[in-house]
Amino acid sequence: MSGPAPAPGAQVEAALRPDLRGRTAYGAPQLDVAVQLNTNESSYPVPDEVVADVLARLGEDLAGLNRYPDREFVGLRKALVDYLELQSGTRLRPEQVWAGNGSNEVLQHLVLAFGGAGRTALGFTPAYSMHPIIVETLGTRWVDGQRDAESFDLEVGSAVEQVRASDPDLVFLCSPNNPTGTALPFESIEAVLAAAPRAIVVVDEAYAEFARPGTPSALALLEHHERLVVTRTMSKAFTLAGARLGYLTAHPSLVDALRLVRLPYHLSTPTQAVAEVALAHAPRLLSTVEAIKEQRDRLVTELAEMGLRPVPSDANFVLFGGLADAPATWQALLDAGVLVRDVGIPGHLRVTAGTPEETTAFLTALRSLLPQHLAPTSTTTATAEGARP
């Protein structure tokens, strides 16, 4: 007689790579609520004139979809170079630019090219939780470096000590950091480059357009550091989270190495078209950035007035602490029609800066929950993962 039938999915589980068994897929809740402030998207829709130009461009390109897209996305790279000079004042060359389907794909290309079996990547927690996921699922060892447990700052001496101890092949830095919103000074980036003389150092600048005045961009360091990479995205400031376009800038030889690991024709013709049109409308699309920054700063001010502990932010979100039970507060806000992000840091939640109306709805809902949701003490541990979006 045959034995009992295996449980559904058991054969797949047995065939799965052992290091992937038991893992949970990355994802933020996508819930249909009135106020969605959990994924750092822009709350502002794409302007009508940009939509019209995208449709016109796609109309021109659709008949040619029988052909593969431009494998080198030449037009897009030129447009990105022009934009970066406009936005940061840094002049680059098209051969220093690489793009993919969201910044996660360009991060994946970096790990495919410079990570792998027997290699190590280092990041500093709490930070973007996709960094270790990409690293480990591609067979690279992840070292979970630490920030200050109270302020979440990455002190230069501590960073250097941790880099030297792990001797990594890849180092991931976030500036502004997610989920804390804090930016890094040049001193920290250059100190890490010096302490890791063989590592590729990746500075993730997904939220760079939201930085406060005077905050430096690592783009200015590229000329002097062949192992430095700066990654960015069009998902946030450009209001194009649904278009999936991320990019990086680096030394031309590093960009050339990424061709070894990219899939053929990885950027579709429509993706390239949408991104090029958006870049042509950069001033219009970025016109909402100041409004978002105003709401971000309003969040910092009013959360502090409530007795909570917001972290001053250079991004389009605010991390705040001082909660007795973050998951309970998250659920109570959701019950009130407001969705924010529980990033797993005890006593903390993260809220995206949205429209003035959304900010008011969030603050009103949160005030209604206080003081019963306030923590009696200010103890905090920085042991959890960050999140983007």
Q: Give yes or no: residues 192 and 294 share one domain.
A: no
Q: CA-to-CA distance for 92 and 22, rounded, in angstroms?
A: 44
Residue 192 lies in a domain: yes
Token duo for residue 28 = 């933020």
Q: Give yes or no: residues 132 and 165 share one domain.
A: yes
Q: How far apart are the first and last CA of the chain?
A: 52
Q: What are phi and psi of 174, to 5 degrees?
A: -115, 130
For residue 179, what is the domain's CATH number?
3.40.640.10
The reported pLDDT for the residue numbered 29 is 84
For strands 228-233 and 170-174, give the pairing: unpaired
Residue 6 lies in a domain: no
Contacts of 195 (CB under 8 A, 6+ apart): 159, 160, 163, 164
- The helix (H) or strand (E) run that includes residue 122 is strand 120-125
Residue 341 lies in a domain: yes
Chosen domain end from 253, 285, 317: 285
For 127-147, write each residue's pLDDT tens digit: 999 999 999 999 999 999 999
Q: Give yes or no: residues 244 and 165 share one domain.
A: yes
The reported pLDDT for the residue numbered 2 is 67
Q: Give yes or no: residues 166 and 298 share one domain.
A: no
Q: What is the pTM of this model?
A: 0.93
The reported pLDDT for the residue numbered 387 is 47
Token duo for residue 208 = 């760079």
Q: Give yes or no: residues 83 and 179 share one domain.
A: yes
Token duo for residue 374 = 């306030």
- What's the maximum distance between 2 C-alpha atoms anywhere in the chain? 76
Q: Give yes or no: residues 264 and 347 share one domain.
A: no
Judged on CB neighbours under 10 Å (0-12, 13-18, 19+), 304 is middle
Chosen domain end from 258, 285, 312: 285
The reported pLDDT for the residue numbered 54 is 98
How many C-alpha atoms does 135 have within 13 Å on its Cβ side? 22
Residue 10 lies in a domain: no
The one-digit pLDDT tens for each residue of the chain (389 residues) are 567 878 888 999 999 999 999 998 887 888 999 999 999 999 999 999 999 999 999 999 999 999 999 999 999 999 999 999 999 999 999 999 999 999 999 999 999 999 999 999 999 999 999 999 999 999 999 999 999 988 899 999 999 999 999 999 999 999 999 999 999 999 999 999 999 999 999 999 999 999 999 898 999 999 999 999 999 999 999 999 999 999 999 999 999 999 999 999 999 999 999 999 999 999 999 999 999 999 999 999 999 999 999 999 999 999 999 999 999 999 999 999 999 999 999 999 999 999 999 999 999 999 999 999 999 854 444 334 444 45
Q: Give yes or no: residues 134 and 106 share one domain.
A: yes
Q: How far is CA 238 from CA 193, 206, 209, 233, 286, in A?
A: 30, 11, 9, 8, 6
Residue 85: how many other CB atoms lie within 10 Å: 13
Q: Give yes or no: residues 141 and 40 share one domain.
A: no
Q: Give yes or no: residues 227 and 315 share one domain.
A: no
Residue 229 lies in a domain: yes
For residue 337, what is the domain's CATH number?
3.90.1150.10
Q: Give yes or no: residues 281 and 306 share one domain.
A: no
The reported pLDDT for the residue numbered 381 is 40
Q: Give yes or no: residues 302 and 363 share one domain.
A: yes
Residue 384 lies in a domain: no
Q: Give yes or no: residues 38 and 142 share one domain.
A: no
Residue 2 lies in a domain: no
Total tally of structural domains belonging to the chain:
2
Contacts of 312 (CB under 8 A, 6+ apart): 181, 182, 300
Residue 1 lies in a domain: no
The reported pLDDT for the residue numbered 378 is 44
Chosen domain end from 285, 315, 343: 285
Domain that holds residue 317: 26-46+287-369
For the chain, helix (H) and strand (E) counts, in that order, are 13, 12
